[in-house]
Amino acid sequence: MKLSILVPAYNEQATIREILARVRAVDVVVEAEDGNLGYPLPPGVKGPIRLEKEIIVVDDGSTDNTPDLLRQEAGQGDVQVFFHAVNQGKGAAVRTAIQHATGDILLIQDADLEYDPRDYARLLQPIVEGRAAVVYGSRFLGGPRKAMLFWHAAGNKLLTFITNILYDAILSDMETCYKVFRAEVIKDIPLRARRFEFEPEVTAKVLKRGYRIYEVPISYTGREYEEGKKITWRDGFLALWTLIKYRFVD
């Protein structure tokens, strides 16, 4: 079983090498056993399961030293790097990464250090055990976390609340980076987002197709805007419009 780790990157020269080192360091082993947590494993699957890793980075037209650092990382032979000539947005970078992914399971990893790859096993377990096709890592289910910016957290909760109303769900963290999909699920969904509206678009389309999203708690170390955080209040309005639009169109 192969895991494709998709890393969209834009102007992340301060963190790109460290996050790739952390992704490389994780031995992705899922302690899945037949009957574990009361659920039978798919036929022929026995735990613990060690997943092969495929790391795919898409540089989204960075203007700092990120492209040069990524070329050096690619030279080690265990990272595939693709380049956008100009900045198109996180959604566009993720879509490029999906096109090149060959794994059975796809996981999105931001290029900053807000999310911890040591959470991979927890995120993957429901999929490996056959209990879910889509898993989100929630920052609001009791995992350790650095205090978030109040208005950022409030905006996220509002968008998640609207998601739950429009799509009959009970999510706690729609905007999380850690989204994990069985490959056939995400590759069959037409995605059009270019910027941060990727999060509400993919959530809306997953839920409209009848997949119930499984959430697990994750750790979170949020960074400040002066440290490179990019999402702003403008992205919140675009996310709201995206949720409303895809309730009625596809």
pLDDT in tens, 62-108: 999 999 999 999 999 999 999 999 999 999 999 999 999 999 999 99
Nearest to 149 by CA among 233, 222, 246: 222
pLDDT of res. 143: 73
- For range 128-143, the mean pLDDT: 92
Tally of domains in the chain? 1
Range of the domain at 191: 2-248
Residue bearing the bigger pLDDT, 241 or 153: 241
> Measured on CA atoms in the order 146, 151, 155, 160, is the torsion positive or negative?
positive
Look-up of token digits 């999203």: 213
C-alpha distance from residue 232 to each of 152, 160, 239 (Å):
8, 16, 11
> In terms of C-beta density within 10 A (0-12 exposed, 13-18 middle, 19 or more buried), how is residue 162 classed?
middle
What gap in Å lies between CA 161 and CA 213, rounded to an integer? 15
Which residue type, as a one-letter code, is found at position 93? A
Q: What b/e sequence results for 82-94 when a residue is b if at least 16 CB atoms lie within 10 Å of its CB, and e otherwise? A: bebeebbbbbbbb
Residue 152: pLDDT band (50, 70, 90) is confident
Residue 45: pLDDT band (50, 70, 90) is low
CATH number at residue 217: 3.90.550.10
For 216, residues 6+ apart whose C-beta sits below 8 A from its C-beta are 119, 122, 123, 125, 126, 135, 136, 137, 138, 141
pLDDT of res. 229: 52
